[in-house]
Amino acid sequence: MRQLTFREAIQEAIAEEMERDSTVFMMGENIAASGGVYQGTKGLLEKFGEGRILDMPISESGFVGAGVGAALLGTRPVIDLMFNDFIPLVMDHLVNHAAKMRYMYGGQAIVPMVIRTFFGAGTRMGCSHSQSLEAYVIHCPGLKVVMPSTPADAKGLMKSAIRDNDPVVFFEHRLLYSVKGAIPEGEHIVPLGQADVKRKGSDVSVVATGRMVYKALEAAAELAQEGIEMEIIDPRSLLPFDCQTLMESVKKTGRLLIVHEACKTGGFGAEIAAMVAKEAFGYLDAPIERIAAPDIPVPVSPTLEDQYIPKKEDIVATAKKMVA
Amino acid sequence: MENQDLSQRFNQNLKDADLIALYRLMVLTREFEMRVCKIYTQTTIPETPHLCVGQEAIGVGSCYGLRKDDFVLPSLRGRSVFLAKGVPPSVLMAGVFGKATGPSKGKYTAHHMGDLEKGILAGSLLIGSQFPTAVGAGLAFKLKKTDQVCLCYFGDGASNRGDFHEGLNLAAIQKLPVIFICENNLYALYTPVEKAIAVKDIASRAQGYGMPGITIDGNDVLTVYQTVQEAVARARRGDGPSLIECKTYRLRPHCERFQENRPPEELAYWWDKCPIKRFKAHLFDQGVLNEETHHRIEAEVAEEMNRAVQFAEESPYPDAAELCEDVYADGVIRGGRLCAS
């Protein structure tokens, strides 16, 4: 199978959808001529022209809000928000507009827009260029939230997100952009709300998102040497969430470990833990564990930032404790 | 107020039937607002009334010449816009009552209602958030190569939001068919405009965005009509957005829930400049309106409003089972969250 990077997979998904549907267009800062700060939109200007790949002024609130208006009137904007740390700048249009429009119109309206945004620590860029802010948007009814970990998933989910009739926030971990993976030939769609079991196992269910999927897989390989088999579930889509796959796994293993890069308090993991505590209570053989970043701003210095990001060793140690 | 002559100029282009229609819409708006004002004191309705009494000429004059497929995004004081855009008073009133027959089936406050078929974009309850949404509508028209336009209404207070800057700049650089209509009623809730804005005319800000800006008498319906029509023609030609500042005054409080103590002589001055009173006098002068037609219009409007209130009162509330509907286009919320099936 042909190999693409995570970055190329997303570019390909957008290009395919723009070819398929003339109402799809892009807005964002530095996305046209320069192809995006992480080259996320490379080649799209040449293919689709300035009429559909629109460079925006530094007006995040303005162009995300404009995306809502454009989506209400029959187009499908794909907005490049650059850093997910810009989400606070656009919260009004995401939370008070995009998410609520359908309700405000009594079901008459759809808001088919995608906000793609990169996130994550590990590049020494500081506390407002490194966060994982998915919980901010998961909390808001009316939005959908996606966080793929592999190139194939990124491509398939981006295509689903663009075709979806609700606003979707699409989180891309920037340290995954260069990761290569196999991409199926032809039309490749991954539906929203479908988890993927990245590794089968019988002892501990691990829900991991984004870059943490790779850390969990590394930990699983190491633990397998000691006879501990972890099952790694990548939700891929955080909202809607695939409850069924998670419940089936937890009922089999009796243990749940959640790993995300966002800080712990009020994080997505808390919601998963609550869900399992309620619906699989009788199956649990150990307390539910969460591994997350500490509740602090993301630091800059290598020694500090490396300490901040959840590590394979944390996962190994916690899983061992759970099966002991 | 420099454009008093415009109404004279344009008056020649409007037929008597148009003038009567403009007048009737203003009378209907006033009657609607005063009914809501009264109902609010008599019974419990979900809407907190933000009445446009005194500002009727802006919505009516600006919408009158629009095409059905043109869009508007009203401010929080948008009743004249809804009525001029063809929302039946009965539906609008049902919305005021929070009934299932209202514009959003009881999901959202009617004074920010949206109706895509009638060309009305819903506004949020956040003052000044409407600029980017309206700009997005303009962007969609441009992308789809239609010659539709979008009118974006806002008050003097909203013009201080960052979204005003971001929205107007974006509309200007993309040359979008959006007409920004400022209803400068001299107060942002209690705050007088001169304490919040250092320039005399909000329209002067247009220069900073590279678009035309004009300040007009917002209590003169013909001036509003004419000025907006010129901006609409410009937008349809692909020449981009305009900013029109309509000086006006609200003759009721910011909302009926709050008491206000504005100077009585100021209120008296503006009651004297009431747009309906002025237009009525103008139409009598021109021989377009006489006592008989005037009384007939008032009686018709009163009857229409009686029917609207009755419709609203008799309409059912939405079924509580509909609570979680209309959130997602293709999903169902279960147990408080959206799960995949």
Q: How far is CA B190 from CA A41, B119, B195, in A?
A: 48, 32, 10
CATH code, domain carrying B194: 3.40.50.970
Least confident of A93-102, A235-244, B1-10, B292-301: B1-10
Measured over the CA atoms of residue A61, residue A66, residue A68 and residue A69, the dihedral's sign is: positive
pLDDT tops 60 at residue B2: no
Banded model confidence at residue B4, pLDDT cuts 50, 70, 90: very low
In this complex, is the C-beta atom of A270 within 8 Å of any C-beta atom belonging to chain B? no
Q: Per-10-residue mean pLDDT for chain A, 324 residues long?
A: 96 98 97 88 94 97 98 98 98 98 96 98 96 97 97 98 98 98 97 96 98 98 98 96 96 98 97 95 98 98 98 98 96
Distance CA A235, CA A64 (A): 26
pLDDT tops 80 at residue B8: no
pLDDT tops 90 at residue B339: no
pLDDT tops 60 at residue B7: no
Contact residues, B window 306-335, toward A, CB-based 8 Å cutoff: 325-331, 333
pLDDT in tens, B186-200: 999 999 999 999 999
Structure confidence at residue A37 (pLDDT): 85
Exposed e or buried b per residue across A141-175, where buried means at least 16 C-beta atoms within 10 angstroms of its C-beta: bbbbbbbbbbbbbbbbbbbbbbbbbbbbbbbbbbb
Per the structure, how many domains does chain B have? 1
Largest CA distance in chain A: 60
Structure confidence at residue A34 (pLDDT): 86
Of A69, A237, A239, the CB nearest to B135: A69
Q: Which range of residues forms the domain containing residue B141? A: 4-338
* pTM: predicted TM-score of the whole model, two decimal places: 0.96
pLDDT tops 70 at residue B6: no
In this complex, is the C-beta atom of A102 within 8 Å of any C-beta atom belonging to chain B? yes
Structure confidence at residue A85 (pLDDT): 98
Q: Indicate yes or no: CB of A105 within 8 angstroms of CB of B132.
A: no
| Residues 6 or more apart in contact with residue B233 via CB below 8 angstroms | none
Of A67, A110, A242, the CB nearest to B329: A110
Domains of chain A: 2-183 (3.40.50.970), 196-323 (3.40.50.920)
pLDDT tops 80 at residue B291: yes
- Number of CB pairs, chain A paired with chain B, less than 8 A apart: 188
pLDDT in tens, B199-209: 999 999 999 99
DSSP state of A92: I
Chain A residues near residue B161 by CB distance under 8 angstroms: none
In this complex, is the C-beta atom of B25 within 8 Å of any C-beta atom belonging to chain A? no
Distance CA A208, CA A210 (A): 7
pLDDT tops 90 at residue B335: no
Chain A residues near residue B170 by CB distance under 8 angstroms: 56-57, 59, 62-63, 66
Banded model confidence at residue B11, pLDDT cuts 50, 70, 90: low
In this complex, is the C-beta atom of B340 within 8 Å of any C-beta atom belonging to chain A? yes
Structure confidence at residue B224 (pLDDT): 98
Q: Indicate yes or no: CB of B136 within 8 angstroms of CB of A103.
A: no
pLDDT in tens, B217-258: 999 999 999 999 999 999 999 999 999 999 999 999 999 998
Exposed e or buried b per residue across B87-97, where buried means at least 16 C-beta atoms within 10 angstroms of its C-beta: bebbbbbbbbb
User: Which of B326, B330, B332, B341 to mutate to probe the A interface, most A CBs <10 Å?
Assistant: B326
The ipTM estimated for the assembled molecules is: 0.95
With tokens 């039946």, the residue in question is B88
A151 to chain B nearest CA, in Å?
22
| Residues 6 or more apart in contact with residue A55 via CB below 8 angstroms | A28, A29, A30, A31, A32, A33
